[in-house]
Amino acid sequence: MNMYFIMGTEDNFYTQKQLLPEDLVRASQESRGVSVVLRMQQEYDHSYYFIATFIASHLEHHAKYLKA
């Protein structure tokens, strides 16, 4: 399983410690067959602009595995 996450460092859920992506990465390193790519984007929250900016890389990631 290959997971791909992009998160803004100013995301309210992240800054309030409701989302813990570093824990997910750490857990994946201890699991067989699980790969997590986490990209933290400085000064982005989870607004429309964040999604519009990074949606293309998500689609490229999914397309890579759909073609496999």
pTM: 0.82
Structure confidence by residue, pLDDT tens digits, 14-68: 999 999 999 999 999 999 999 999 999 999 998 999 999 999 999 999 999 898 6
1 or 42: which carries more pLDDT confidence? 42
What is the DSSP code string of 6-64? EEETT-HHHHTTS--HHHHHHHHHTSTT-EEEEEEETT--SSHHHHHHHHHHHHHHHHH
Q: Which residues pair with 40 in a beta bridge?
A: 7
pLDDT of residue 17: 97
pLDDT of residue 67: 82
Altogether, the residues listed in the chain come to a count of 68
